[in-house]
Amino acid sequence: MKKLLLLLNSICVVASTAATVFACNNVKRIDIEVVPNGTNFIDVEPEMIKGYSNIQAVEVDFLGAELSSPHKIFSSVEYTTSNIKGSKFSKITFTAKNEIGFGYLRLKGSQESTTSPTSQKELVFLKKIFNVNVGKLDIKNTKVIADFNQNQETIESAIKNAIKTKTDGIDIIQDKDYVITGLDRTLSSSKIKVAAKKLSKVIKGEFAFELMKINLTTATDKVLGELPSDNDDQIIEAFLNQNPEFKGLPKTQLQIKSALTKTSGTVTIQIKGTHDRYHGEVVVTYTVAPPKTPNLDALNQKIAEARLIAQAGKSLVDWTALQNAISTAETDKSEDTAVVKTTDLQSAMTVFNNAATPNLNTLNTKLEQAKNIAQAGKSLVDWTALQNAISTAETDKSEDTAVVKTTDLQSAMTVFNNAATPNLNTLNTKLEQAKAIGQAGKSLVDWTALQNAISTAETDKSEDTAVVKTTDLQSAMNQQCCNPKLKRIRYQAWTSQKYCSSW
């Protein structure tokens, strides 16, 4: 065994990592890995096959000589080319048998002639040999990136995906090919260990990694909104409430870095001391809500209500008392004095609203009586005088002015009610006379004319229109009494009666 190793060392120095090129006289070697029954490929660079055609990929022994079938470790080896978007790509695809060991691949082809490019020549080997390690893939040094913000299932998936990068995508199964220790649903430990199982046909070895601490700068919501105060505890509690990803972090392990920036509504929250899961700091912004003043708010509302109250005829004494109460409530009002001031103002409002107005009530009654009076034929002058008196009584009426206004209105009502209507009285007498006249054989035309005259005299009769209406009615009456045709008929009847009597 020692002689074999010395022999190998005398030929070349083999690197232990994959895809490493090394020299062996004029032959270059590249290490590749594949698992038993696994398939892998090698990209062939254009420079590697420059000047060759009719290229083939074959399995060779360590020294580069082509192997016969019984000694091969690969079930298939194939060289292929493809064109992708005008570019030519070449690769060697190989599949290992269900064996463990080292296999070697090499390209061979015809050297192209500059004088006769199409001439066929004997195939010769290219200088590069690809060393393929057929066996379990070592998962040592596998890198996994995970933190405490992730759950167990997410971290397990990250571990599996990281291992698959070592196996060229060959599927592996947890608890069949590897085991994980230190990982549970509570993420109670920061150090996680992953070890391949001995019975795995794909991987070997082990690796460990630590869950990364969560940095406060990754907070989702750094705008805390309106806070009741800028107290440190209020700020920290609001930060934790709005960023549930830090639910495992007690607020006692957070602190405000500096209180100097509180006036601008910006502070830096940082970890107090050290924490096994969290680190760093975060800048947050907020505003402070104005202080709550429920008593003062109630007082302001009550003041607004009081200001909407109208005097509405109440006495000046009562009105002044209410205005003084409003002024007192306004003066030096504060949250501390608001309760008493609100009570006092409400009391003043109640007193004002309940204040008696006997004189104003009497005036209002008198106004109703005056408004019910009809003109009833009185002169326009008398009627206008009464309406003016009513309007004057209505204007600026109050408990203080009601007595005088009531007296004045009553006086105007009396004057109106006692106003003389001599012309109207004459018209009414004339109407009675006209209505007493019978048709007495008069013609229908004459009779209708008289009735129309009576109706016209009746319509809108008043002291102001009575003289004209009386004159017109008298004229109609005279016309009815002095009709010449009627006189002639009467004379003829009288004459005939006298003649017959003598006869």
Instruction: Quote the CA–CA distance of 279 and 215 in Å, as a whole number.
Output: 5
**Spatial strand order in the sheet of 206-210:** 178-181, 191-196, 206-210
Q: How does pLDDT run across 363-418, given as a tens digit for each residue?
A: 999 999 999 999 888 889 999 999 999 999 999 999 999 999 999 999 999 999 98
Q: Which alpha helices (H) appear in 51-133, and where do they start and end?
A: none
**Does 24 have pLDDT greater than 60?**
no
Q: Which residues of 430-461 are buried (b: 16+ CB within 10 A; e: fewer)?
A: bbeebeebeeeebeeebbeebeebbeebeeeb
Nearest CA to 214 among 271, 269, 284, 160? 271
Instruction: Quote the CA–CA distance of 165 and 157 in Å, as a whole number.
Output: 13
Cβ atoms of 73 and 59 within 8 Å: the answer is yes
The pLDDT assigned to 344 comes to 96
For 226, half-sphere exposure in the C-beta direction (CA atoms, 13 angstrom radius) is: 3
Q: How does pLDDT run across 442-471, given as a tens digit for each residue?
A: 889 989 999 999 999 899 989 889 899 899
Cβ atoms of 135 and 73 within 8 Å: the answer is no
Q: How many residues does the chain have?
A: 503
User: How far is Cα of residue 356 from the mean position of the Cα atoms in its chain?
Assistant: 53
Helix (H) or strand (E) holding 373: none
What are the tokens at 294?
Answer: 């429920």
The pLDDT assigned to 189 comes to 82
The pLDDT assigned to 322 comes to 94
Instruction: Quote the CA–CA distance of 147 and 282 in Å, as a whole number.
Output: 18
Percent of the chain at pLDDT exceeding 90: 60
Q: How does pLDDT run across 229-253, given as a tens digit for each residue?
A: 889 999 999 999 999 988 888 999 9
Cβ atoms of 243 and 177 within 8 Å: the answer is no
Look-up of token digits 């599996």 = 160
**Does 297 have pLDDT greater than 90?**
yes
**Does 499 have pLDDT greater than 60?**
no
Residue 134 burial by Cβ neighbours in a 10 Å radius (0-12, 13-18, 19+): buried
For 198, half-sphere exposure in the C-beta direction (CA atoms, 13 angstrom radius) is: 0
* Superfamily of chain region 30-113+123-135: Immunoglobulins (2.60.40.10)
User: Hey, is 383 helix, strand or coil?
Assistant: helix
Instruction: Quote the CA–CA distance of 440 and 442 in Å, as a whole number.
Output: 6
